[in-house]
Amino acid sequence: MKDLSGFEEEIHYTFRDKSLLLTALTHSSYANEQPDKPPYNERLEFLGDSVLGVVTADYLFHTYPNEPEGELTRRRAELVCEDSLFAFAKEIHLGDYMRLGRGEERTHGRERPSILADAFEAVIAAIYEDAGIERAREHILRFLKAHKDLNNKKKDYKTMIQEVIQQNREEKLEYVLAHESGPDHDKRFVVELHLNSNVIGTGEGRSKKHAEQEAAHEALRLMGLEK
């Protein structure tokens, strides 16, 4: 684990109460191995999830004043999902500063999406507890604003191809998991998109959902409907 001052530089915030930051970066696996059982980040994660949700909803509500509730919900889900939080955590090298148990160290816990996403939320709560909602909002918006345009450009290829195929009611689309590999912290999935009995697209990703999107994207490219 690196010195916490380095992490404070990463997040552009210096804590008055350093214990809050230390707790946010402490995983339960570490705490359970220590005789004094120090606090770990699950309670902060709980609070941070709520703070993140409120700030994100407020940001989207005012950034997209003409969008309906359903579209705002979709945007929020994309921005606060585990994949996004994992990406945010990697930007600030959060894994380098975590306190993990020996088992998690051996199994590459510093790179595990679920651990880093949870810790990212815990850091939000730590800032909130140390300095209040406005400082927590500044921290969160740093990431939301940087990823807003990526979110805008993200297409739902599964819906797009469904709309193409459903013009013929006799046709049936099915996503089939063809292959799964890698350790738990770095799974890779290969999914085939079947149109009736024919494979019309194949996709690979870190989650089944991502692999399905890639399979649909490939199918649309082969149809000449996407680049």
Q: 10 Å Cβ neighbour count for 221?
A: 13
DSSP codes of every residue in 148-184: HHHHHH---HHHHHHHHHTTSTT--EEEEEEEEES-G
As a dihedral over the C-alpha atoms of residue 117, residue 122, residue 126, residue 129, rounded to 10 degrees, the angle is 120
Six token digits for residue 11: 């997040």
User: Which listed residue (45, 104, 118, 121) is catalytic?
Assistant: 121
**Residue 49 is among the residues annotated as catalytic for this protein:** yes
d(CA 59, CA 71): 14
Give the HSE-up count for residue 46: Cα atoms under 13 Å, Cβ half-sphere: 3
Give the HSE-up count for residue 144: Cα atoms under 13 Å, Cβ half-sphere: 21
Identify the residue whose tokens are 């705490």.
31
User: Which listed residue (49, 118, 212, 214) is catalytic?
Assistant: 49
Q: In what order do the strands lie in the sheet with 198-205?
A: 173-181, 188-195, 198-205
Residues labelled as active-site residues: 49, 121
